[in-house]
Amino acid sequence: MSDEVLKSEHKIGSLWLGMDFYLVICDPDVIDNLSKECLEKPEIVSILGRFLTGNGTIFAPANIWRTRRKLMMPSFSQKNLNNFVNVFSQCSIATAARLKAKCDGGDFSVWSYFITYSMNAICETGLGLRGQAKAENNAKLLEAFEEYINCASDLAFRPWCYVVESIFRRTADHKTLTKNKNIMTNIINEIIQDKRNKIRESGNKLRSDGGKLTKGDTDFSILDYLLENYGDTMTDLELLEEILVLAVGGTDTSTVAVCFTAILLSKHPDVQEKVYQEVKEVMGDTIRPIDYNDLPKLKYLEAVLKEALRLYPSAPFVGRLVDKDVTLPSGKFIPKGTTVGFNMWGMHRHPKYWGDDPERFDPERFINPNITHPVAYIPFSYGPRNCIGGKYAMLSLKTLLATLLSRYEILPPASLPPDQPFRIEYKIMLKDVNNFQIRLKKRELECKLTK
């Protein structure tokens, strides 16, 4: 987004993306209006919708999305999310254990460690996989998922490669997508059928003690809840689509967010030390698992995450199809058929809402927030089609970072100049060109534990 657009009265620009013309918007008033008026997704997202998630809630047509969203919402109640924190904590401890081998060594990419954490958490909270079943399926799911997303991300910006499906089906990209989609769908369908069989055999009971699962149960998983409450009305395909949405929405986006937060902390040791002292104050002078009662006390850590998401929102550009004529509050007219893009990257850096230093990493912005417009900060999108898993992500990422920072100090990579700006690329999700390089150093308590 050019400086001219950012400084213009209406903060609206335009661009061509392949054969599609976009209005690009970083005006919160306009985004507020269009996100409520226009609920259809544009054609460019079809590469994921058509070939992976189908009519799952992220990419579904509005008429299907409304019904699915209502079915999914209870799964993300605060009570259920609190029950998930134990899963986040155990997965975080396992991640910390794997990272121990990297301590006091050289530069390394933290991406593979964090995406494994995210997939492990999704497998347990979303699918109800535990123990050996999770271990066996997680590696296959993660490998297929990453290969699929990388291919789809490249294709999303080459629409001429897949518009004519009869030609696209003969390409190597189509074979890559099909192969990995089949791996993911076969694993998830097998889990769905296994759980359906258990329900039939046990008289509608999935809990290990024979009781009926409830929304607040510690054995709760999202798939379990959907099967017990809507198993007679949701088809296997509908269940599959929603679980694939969880994988897409809960794995890549969360991993991008925590990776950017980690490298920002490595570049700002004063901020990292403040987070560490807060974690110590909450947890005491011991290393123990995080529980859900700890998380509301980690206010500065939450501010750090929010500021990282302001500067580097995982999905910085959200598209909508204008499916009816719309007149904006300013009087500007947008005709039916226009494609618009909500530019969170530009809006989160607009001086009108973030002051004269919007590029500066400053978590204090969210300690006593003075955000002058409710839509000026929307890392999880906005309106009826916002991200259903925003609270899930925040709890998960706070748990992971608190667990790691209690054990390790995050240092910047020795191979890159400390004052070098981030080099980023946009492939549907933001990514660091250097693949999130850091170093780790053991904290004092961790050193005592390992002696």
Taking the C-alpha atoms of residue 372 and residue 316, their distance in angstroms, rounded to an integer, is 20
Is residue 123 a contact partner of residue 141, using CB atoms and an 8 Å limit? yes
- Helix or strand or coil: residue 256? helix
Which ranges of 100-156 would DSSP assign to H, the alpha helix?
A: 111-125, 131-156
Taking the C-alpha atoms of residue 245 and residue 56, their distance in angstroms, rounded to an integer, is 6
Tell me the Ramachandran region of residue 34: left when phi exceeds 0, alpha when psi lies from -120 to 50, beta otherwise: alpha
Tell me the Ramachandran region of residue 431: left when phi exceeds 0, alpha when psi lies from -120 to 50, beta otherwise: beta
Taking the C-alpha atoms of residue 244 and residue 183, their distance in angstroms, rounded to an integer, is 12
Give the chain's count of helices (H) and strands (E).
18, 11
Is residue 171 a contact partner of residue 155, using CB atoms and an 8 Å limit? no
Is residue 151 part of an annotated ligand binding site?
Answer: no
What tokens appear for 399 in the block?
Answer: 């748990």
Is residue 348 a contact partner of residue 377, using CB atoms and an 8 Å limit? yes
Which ranges of 284-423 would DSSP assign to H, the alpha helix?
A: 299-311, 344-347, 351-354, 390-405
Is residue 442 a contact partner of residue 450, using CB atoms and an 8 Å limit? yes
Enumerate the known binding-site residues. Answer: 387
Enumerate the known binding-site residues for heme. Answer: 387
